[in-house]
A and B are shown apart, each in its own frame.
Chain A
Amino acid sequence: DQQVKQNSPSLSVQEGRISILNCDYTNSMFDYFLWYKKYPAEGPTFLISISSIKDKNEDGRFTVFLNKSAKHLSLHIVPSQPGDSAVYFCAAIGSGGSNYKLTFGKGTLLTVNP
């Protein structure tokens, strides 16, 4: 079963506009969430994270929002740039015994059009 779900396989936005990527999770033991970005032929690279004790974390153009009651998080990119075009993976980790193991969603392909 998919414990981390990214229901939008793809998203297309115009340069300069906001990109919003969504992620839902089912496992209530997850308490830390990360976003990774992946370009073709490269490994995923860490982008931003958020702890479950927070509802927002911001780093430059990237902001992650967490709604714990809804088990939902989102990544906002403002303003979007063509270089942001990549696959974005949401990942989660739990406070249980396996607190070193990331569970990934299937990813969302973001295309930012010039």
Chain B
Amino acid sequence: DTGVSQNPRHKITKRGQNVTFRCDPISEHNRLYWYRQTLGQGPEFLTYFQNEAQLEKSRLLSDRFSAERPKGSFSTLEIQRTEQGDSAMYLCASSLGGQYNSPLHFGNGTRLTVT
């Protein structure tokens, strides 16, 4: 168990630029989640994959956001035309099976700053 890995750890970008984050889950975990955390708040659910299928997207995920999980392994989260309000910590998590017997394992996050 090498843990959930997220890259980059930090990203500073100018408003209007596109950014892409990568998440490598724990290898045997079939479920992958993206959450976003802003200052003073708890993590908020963005989207969820079971294997390669994206099964739910939060209304927080505007059409500028897209997530993929090709082949059910790593995942990418892309934000197009970034806005200052996108500045946050983006957390990836994975789990094996359902929540009731498999808590989420989080990565250390990617901190995005949009200037």
Contacts and interface: CB of A to CB of B under 8 A. Distances in A.
A, B from the same assembly: yes
Nearest to B105: A46
B39 to A, nearest CB: 10
Interface of B: 4, 31, 33, 35, 40-45, 48, 55-56, 91, 93, 98-100, 103-109
Given A41-B108, A101-B56, 10 more contacts: A34-B103, A36-B106, A42-B108, A43-B4, A43-B93, A43-B107, A45-B106, A98-B56, A100-B33, A100-B99
Contact of B42 (A41, A93, A107): A107
Contacts of B108: 41-43
A49 B100 CA distance: 9
4 residue pairs, one from A and one from B, having the closest CB atoms: A104-B42, A43-B106, A46-B103, A101-B45
A101 B15 CA distance: 30
A104 B104 contact: no
Nearest to A104: B42
Contacts, number: 56
B48 A101 contact: yes
Given A45-B106, A107-B42, A102 B99 contact: yes
A50 to B, nearest CB: 11
A23 B43 CA distance: 16
